[in-house]
Structure 1
């Protein structure tokens, strides 16, 4: 656990703005709301100004004794993470000194290598570093953020890494610790060169997000690149095909749901003794890419973020302190994870989002659906089943073979029984994580898979 003694920065000048909203959250539930008032928190229920510890006790969790880790700002950042970000700004011109006192990989202490760019620490063997040169040292997560990607030598590549280390509190799920490092899919080696263009230069496919050494591409007769290509680069014709078809789909207007689909939906509601009062709903399926969405579509993305925050605690990147949810929806980049390829699939009624999911298509073999949620007032009405039918239709049109998603233990039976998913076998799961490390995973969940198109 990080040794950090600068929590007081939150309530000092230059910290949280006055009257900033603060919420004590436990297992996805909002226990108590207050507002920053001077050096304390003004409780919304009793109007008393309390210290963070008193605020935690007032929320009924005095025994926890971790107020700064469970009190969140309105943008989904815990007070601890907010304090870390303030400290980083204070030390912007100096190396990070507040490194973790346990190894990032094995979680044990001892003789550790301290990254000079981020707070992570490693044993030499866990970092796979047989020798360390004198001077500054960067861990592989930080090195990856300096990789060259596609468009120019000055570009920074996320490379599809799962070194994002989000903290997922999805309805009580345990924090995730993604420690798998990306590698060339042809040689499985992590090493790369960021000095000029050579065989060890890494290039990333702009569709499937797989990484390749320039030399490995040449060795396997996949591409004989003499320099980094301008614009998008695709490792295979299938990736180019999928990318082109997705662009066409994203250019279309929202699709009004067919009468056949709505008739089936209403019939299912009747069988479950439920009804929809309005028989003339203007229900549409919307597919957007947040990064390139038109201004008129931004309000739908904002509604989607709100719906996700209704259902999930913030998913925080431990390095930047930013919430993953808006970044996934808007297609932004956080540290080493780039969500530019993430799509938002939504079901709207009268231009209001009722249910949504983040969707990412990698290649012809796999697509993922990492987060889904329905507006609380619209739950239990079968809207997500309609949305999932639309998503399946899109993926089938692209000839995508499988879709995967992370499911909590208490939701696994719903996905397997109602939507036709199944558990992924351990050997297949290991192979999937090696070939597609960008897939979002959360500790406390199981990756499920559904076959969409039968393999030839």
Structure 2
């Protein structure tokens, strides 16, 4: 019966996934978490998750529940007692009082389950044989065990499903549904299917849109004022007409090649490209002293002759040498993290981020991979993306397991920080897992972003990477590392001559 239990658990997951599929709950539908008749948290449905109003991040239903302060519950769609087959109700509701669980059940009634989805033994006696399959769940029954005189014609629902349907019919009478806006005598499910519910209009407007007017409309044909163009460095979107109005650019056609919204973005992009060509750079003696100190603390030979370098990489400018380094970086990230899987395609996103490749729905083309090498082998790696002068992100960092505690990432982070200072970038943001948050705050000087700060950042940097279950941290680039225009001119000369430029 354990196999049957696993199948039913899988069915529960399939049931609730219906809410987030294309013909389920419309994107932008306002939802809220209710408990004991009180609304605890608001959000709206987007894609395969919920945009939480407390942090403006896309979260799963279970994380939405945790943000509402009810993390102890096992299932966000149904209460604990419902999971134990006791009469109860759901907690995430639409604006007209329909729970996600009730909606999932309604959606499931229009779908048939194939034989491969059903149990292989009777739920009553645990024997096989000729089994009657329920059209609402994976359960299977002998006709006699289900107390049926004959095999029913058409669709048939077992008593478990019938009882569940009856409980959901009573949903409009519970305190949470009433508080969420359920009206007696009104078909709430029909309201959802006919879109007669509160839906956030232009949900992308909260995260994207023209950087000047914030509107998300664009011209689908031809070239005109509502044609949208994207800056190839900061990745902000602009209407052609808005660029003219604000006297930023008077474009008569879409430019060929790269286009930058300002001279700062052009300078940043040019510098990063030069860095890719520049290749690996040996670390300064002051940074190597930090490494030797770490070696001494670990009881290692601090006088050992090692070649420590750092460099910036991109899959768009790959050679046999850099492809090897990029593959080593991917290996380190996979060693330290579980695969980061795109919900829509099922593809692992780590290689896309390391190589700077765009994926449908995921824009990673502006990402670079910074690596620290010991004797030409990668020991630490970090993904960076610069959204203009205001902000840069570091979505992933890792050091190989065999090299933890040796100070390698501290060196790499110093290199990244000096690079951002050289580019005159003001702030660094990154997502931090709970167990790593104290390291970033205590050791590297990061602070937790307030929800309003994160919301503002996401409006100007809509492609910013935010992982579920992490906190967003921020740090100002140290002012003592900022580079003057005169110093930068001199350093550019050094860079063009293939010499060390800021370390």
TMscore range, shorter length: 0.5 to 0.7
Secondary structure class of the residue paired with 2:278: coil
102 and 260 in structure 1: CA distance in 2 versus 1, 3 angstrom threshold: same
1:261 lines up with 2:278 in the alignment: no
| Whole-angstrom CA distance in 2 between matches of 1:274 and 1:63 | 53
- TM-score normalized by the length of structure 2: 0.58
Runs of 5+ consecutive residues of structure 1 not aligned to the other structure: 1-52, 70-79, 85-96, 113-120, 130-139, 142-178
Structure 2 match to 1:126: 199
420 and 296 in structure 1: CA distance in 2 versus 1, 3 angstrom threshold: same
Q: Which structure exhibits the higher relative contact order, with contacts defined as CA atoms closer than 8 Å and separated by 6 or more residues?
A: 1
Q: Deviations over 1:382-435 (max 9, x none)?
A: 111011011111111111111111112221111011111112233222211111
Alignment equivalent of 1:279, drawn from 290, 299, 304 = 304
Structure 2 match to 1:291: 316
> What is the Cα deviation at residue 317 of structure 1?
1.5
> What is the Cα deviation at residue 320 of structure 1?
2.0
368 and 340 in structure 1: CA distance in 2 versus 1, 3 angstrom threshold: same
1:231 lines up with 2:257 in the alignment: yes
> What is the Cα deviation at residue 240 of structure 1?
0.7
Q: Deviations over 1:136-173 (max 9, x none)?
A: xxxx88xxxxxxxxxxxxxxxxxxxxxxxxxxxxxxxx
| Whole-angstrom CA distance in 1 between matches of 2:399 and 2:436 | 14
Structure 2 match to 1:149: none
Aligned residues of 2:434 and 2:470 also touching (Cα < 8 A): yes
Q: Deviations over 1:285-336 (max 9, x none)?
A: 0211122222321011111111111111111112222111000111111113
Alignment equivalent of 1:423, drawn from 421, 434, 448 = 448
| Whole-angstrom CA distance in 2 between matches of 1:263 and 1:122 | 68
186 and 276 in structure 1: CA distance in 2 versus 1, 3 angstrom threshold: farther
Runs of 5+ consecutive residues of structure 2 not aligned to the other structure: 29-43, 46-93, 95-99, 107-192, 485-503
Structure 2 match to 1:241: 267
Cα RMSD (Å) of the superposition? 3.3
1:197 lines up with 2:223 in the alignment: yes
Alignment equivalent of 2:404, drawn from 379, 392, 395 = 379
Is the radius of gyration larger for structure 1 or structure 2? 2
| Whole-angstrom CA distance in 2 between matches of 1:424 and 1:98 | 32
> What is the Cα deviation at residue 264 of structure 1?
2.2
Structure 1 match to 2:25: 102
- TM-score normalized by the length of structure 1: 0.63
> What is the Cα deviation at residue 98 of structure 1?
6.3
Matches within 5 A, 1:39-58: none
| Whole-angstrom CA distance in 2 between matches of 1:122 and 1:400 | 48
**Structure with the higher fraction of residues in helix conformation:** 2
Aligned residues of 2:295 and 2:302 also touching (Cα < 8 A): no
Q: Deviations over 1:240-262 (max 9, x none)?
A: 11111111111112011222211
Alignment equivalent of 1:434, drawn from 459, 481, 494 = 459
| Whole-angstrom CA distance in 1 between matches of 2:7 and 2:407 | 40
| Whole-angstrom CA distance in 1 between matches of 2:301 and 2:330 | 25
Secondary structure class of the residue paired with 1:403: strand
| Whole-angstrom CA distance in 2 between matches of 1:292 and 1:204 | 21
| Whole-angstrom CA distance in 2 between matches of 1:122 and 1:410 | 45
Alignment equivalent of 1:364, drawn from 379, 389, 394 = 389
Secondary structure class of the residue paired with 1:369: strand
Aligned residues of 1:254 and 1:287 also touching (Cα < 8 A): yes
Q: Deviations over 1:167-207 (max 9, x none)?
A: xxxxxxxxxxxx95421111111111221111111100001
Aligned residues of 2:448 and 2:474 also touching (Cα < 8 A): yes
Aligned residues of 1:370 and 1:440 also touching (Cα < 8 A): yes
Runs of 4+ in 1 over 6 A off after TM superposition: none
> What is the Cα deviation at residue 449 of structure 1?
1.2
Q: Which stretch of the first structure deviates more once superposed, 257-266 or 188-197?
A: 257-266
Secondary structure class of the residue paired with 1:392: helix
**Equivalences, count:** 319
Alignment equivalent of 1:452, drawn from 471, 477, 493 = 477
Secondary structure class of the residue paired with 2:378: strand
